[in-house]
Amino acid sequence: MKILVINCGSSSLKYQLLNMADESVLAKGLCERIGIDGRLVHERPQGKYEASPNMPDHAAAMSVLLDALLDANHGVIKCKSEIGAIGHRVVHGGETFTASVLINDTVEAAIEAVSDLAPLHNPPNLTGIRACKQHMPNVPQVGVFDTAFHQTMPAKAYLYALDYDMYDKHKIRRYGFHGTSHKYVSQQAAELLGRPLSELKLASCHLGNGASVCAIKNGESVDTSMGLTPLEGLAMGTRSGDIDPAIIPFIMEKEGLTAAQVVDALNKKSGMLGLSGVGSDFRDLSAAVDTGNERAKNALDVFAYRVAGYIGRYAACMNGLDAVIFTAGIGENDSGIRAKVCEYLEWMGVSINADANSKRGKAMSISNTGDKVQVLVIPTNEELMIARDTKKILEA
Ligand code: ADP
């Protein structure tokens, strides 16, 4: 079976077509600048194709990507009917979705109903679902939620210590994100360690532009650093992560800003970018540190300190730890950050092998042999996880 995975943003649509017989990627690509001037990057193992087709909306982007998949020169299928199912990344499933689901009208309405929790993400996700329905009305579609994996968190982890009415009336609680990635790397970790996932205590660190740590006990998320929105937790590329909430009215008054403007700044002008003044990309930050930039050094120190702090907290929450997992852009590539984080964890028996830590590109342990707490680097693959879930649901 061939499965098309769709990740739809407000002006972009990422796709991947997988052959589930061997889980190989037949083609992948990105339609971006939807509603602006339209740009397509389409890749197959044989090469890359780029174009600037007209893409006024997501339905048009959908036909552009189907044309690319079917094209006589750079296509990979002969007929649309070869696509057996479509798996969609949906950001917020609220408390309604605890696992992936086959999409029907009721599910669509439920995704819409929780959209106020993710106003920037769920509406474009729904647009993607509707565009697929328009072009392939008979192909089953599955929704895979970033939040679903974390629905196993106990109340003590997901409740904010607010007036309980805030939870009762408005569902204000911690949901967590990056669930598809945390779930994928935890399964890979069990394989790498040669132990059943059902017996492991893991701290999974998804460190990309957005970043979160997840405590995974016996295969289930028991806590995670992101909350009601992806703003909570670690200091990120441009997001502040945890701050004293009283800072918000303080900035509003001092800078003459509205609450929405301050929250926008916390999302887009804070974190590594705000602290360093250099940027949000860790390669630029490391280069700045090499030239003696003190603010960039502080930014990276804040980042590593907070990651280590969450790992320590989760080791306590789970009453033990078998492995730390590093994944996503920074986790997979930045050996300096991994080393910095692991320095804080020596007390729990972590030591990393400098030679292993300098390698990249494959799932591996970077610990010294025999260490009690293993440190693993595992490339994430959210698209594969979405495709696997989609296949599982169809077979069921
Ligand atoms: P997202 O999917 O959240 O956009 P990614 O997981 O792709 O993010 O991570 C992107 C980030 O990874 C970049 O902003 C950069 O900071 C970091 N990154 C990517 N490659 C490297 C590298 N070789 N060394 C250090 N950091 C890297």
CA angle 359, 341, 187 (to 5 degrees): 65
C-beta of residue 150 within 8 angstroms of C-beta of residue 221? yes
Percentage above 90 pLDDT, the chain: 94
Note the pLDDT of residue 119: 86
Question: Which is nearest to 245 in space by CA: 234, 229, 232, 255?
Answer: 232
Confidence class for position 392, pLDDT limits 50, 70, 90: very high
Q: How high is the mean pLDDT of the chain?
A: 96
Give the residue numbers marked as catalytic: 146
The predicted model gives 349-370 an average pLDDT of 94
- Predicted pLDDT of residue 97: 96
CB 271 within 8 A of CB 285: no
Nearest CA to ligand 1 atom 2: 208
Q: Does the structure show a pLDDT above 90 at 360?
A: no
| pLDDT (mean) for 331-335 | 97
Sign of CA dihedral 288, 293, 298, 304: positive
User: 41 alpha carbon to ligand 1 midpoint, in Å?
Assistant: 19
What DSSP string describes 130-179? HHHHHH-TTS-EEEEETTGGGGG--HHHH--SS-HHHHHHH--S---S-H
Q: Which two tokens stand for residue 46?
A: 């044989």
Instruction: Describe the chain by its helix, strand, coil percentages, rounded to 5.
Output: 45, 20, 35
Provide the pLDDT for residue 81.
Answer: 94
pLDDT single digits (tens) 16-64: 999 999 999 999 999 999 999 999 999 999 999 999 999 999 999 999 9
Distance from residue 297's CA to the centre of ligand 1 (Å): 18
Note the pLDDT of residue 167. Answer: 98
pLDDT at 361: 86
> Mean of the pLDDT values across residues 67-71?
96
Residues in CB range of 231: below 8 A, 6 or more apart: 239, 240, 241, 263, 266, 267
Number of the ligand 1 atom closest to the C-alpha atom of 380: 6
3-state secondary structure of 360: coil
Contact 50, 32 (CB under 8 A): no
Atom of ligand 1 nearest to the CA of 282: 16
Closest CA to 175 of 207, 150, 204: 150
Residue 10: the pLDDT is 83
> Where does the pLDDT of residue 199 fall: very low under 50, low under 70, confident under 90, or very high at 90 and above?
very high
Per residue in 155-188, pLDDT tens?
999 999 999 999 999 999 999 999 999 999 999 9
Q: Is 334 in the pocket of ligand 1 (CB under 6 A)?
A: yes
Average pLDDT over residues 299-319: 98
Name the closest-CA residue to atom 15, ligand 1: 281
Q: Please report the pLDDT score of residue 114 as a whole number.
A: 92
User: Is residue 117 predicted with pLDDT exceeding 90?
Assistant: no
User: What is the pTM (predicted TM-score) of this model?
Assistant: 0.95
Residue 213 bridge partners (DSSP): 205
Residue pair 91/146 in contact by the 8 Å Cβ criterion: yes
The angle formed by the CA atoms of residues 188, 192 and 194, to the nearest 5 degrees, is 115
Average pLDDT (247-270) is 97
**28 burial via Cβ count (<10 Å: 0-12, 13-18, 19+):** middle
Candidates 14, 278, 281: which one to mutate for ligand 1, based on the most atoms within 8 Å of Cβ? 281
Buried b (16+ CB within 10 A) or exposed e, 33-57: ebeeebbbebbbeeeebeeebebee
Helix axis angle for 105-113 and 122-135, nearest 10°, is 160
Under 8 Å between Cβ of 346 and 311: no
Has residue 370 got a pLDDT over 90?
Answer: no
Distance 63 CA to ligand 1 centre (A): 30
Residues 354-364 have a mean pLDDT of 93
Distance from Cα 385 to the centre of ligand 1, integer Å: 20
210 lines ligand 1 (CB under 6 A): yes
Flag whether pLDDT at 140 surpasses 90: yes
